Amino acid sequence: MKMPVMAEVQADEAALQFSQFSNTTALQLGAQLVARAQAQNAAVTIDITRNRQQLFHAAMPGTAIDNDKWLQRKINTVYEYGTSSLRKQLEMTARGQTLEEAAALDGHDYAAAGGGFPVVLRGTGLIGSIAVSGLASGEDHQLIVETLREFLK
């Protein structure tokens, strides 16, 4: 799988927004992410939050505590910037910098790596995060994006 480019990431962030987002929405979306991960035999951990409250969490076979640590770093990045963590990765790569260098953010708490995606409520803005950890950076991101495209139809 090829790494998405900035224009694709920005277009997905603009398109993949919610008209409403409840605890039930998080549960249904989480179940779809789990089903897609199972179909791909992907060892990933999945997390969905609203206003930093964890509404959904699932760890597939083959994952470890390290995946949870990566999830938290990606979630923090989404909340800090209001964009996907892959977008931050692409920005930092283009600038030749790390988040630590660019924004004095601790690398133990933030990650410019794909797999964190903003939950944006149309007309409101950022209200949460969807995060996946366990695959390559672009693949974590694509698992979320492909599931959201299907879910938001």
Domain of 145, CATH number, reads 3.30.450.150
10-residue stretch averages of pLDDT, the chain, 153 residues long: 83 96 98 97 98 97 96 97 95 88 85 96 97 96 97 95
pLDDT, position 101: 84
> Taking Cα atoms as reference points, which of 117, 113, 51 lies closest to residue 88?
113
Which of 64-97 are b and which e, b meaning 16 or more Cβ less than 10 Å from the residue's Cβ?
eeebbebbbbbbbbbbebebbbbbbbbbbeeeee
CA-based angle 108:113:119, to the nearest 5? 100
Amino acid at 63: T
Residue 48 lies in a domain: yes
pLDDT, position 8: 93
- Separation between Cα atoms, residue 50 and residue 56, nearest integer Å: 10
Residue 55 lies in a domain: yes
Residue 1 lies in a domain: no
Please count the structural domains in the chain: 1
Tell me the per-residue pLDDT of 113-144, one tens digit each, with 9 for 90 and over: 999 999 999 999 999 999 999 999 999 999 99
Residue 38 lies in a domain: yes
The burial of 118, by beta-carbon neighbours within 10 Å (0-12 exposed, 13-18 middle, 19 or more buried), is given as buried
Residue 30 lies in a domain: yes
Residue 87 lies in a domain: yes
pLDDT, position 139: 95
pLDDT, position 1: 64
Residue 36 lies in a domain: yes
Residue 112: which domain range?
A: 6-151
pLDDT, position 73: 96
Residue 94 lies in a domain: yes
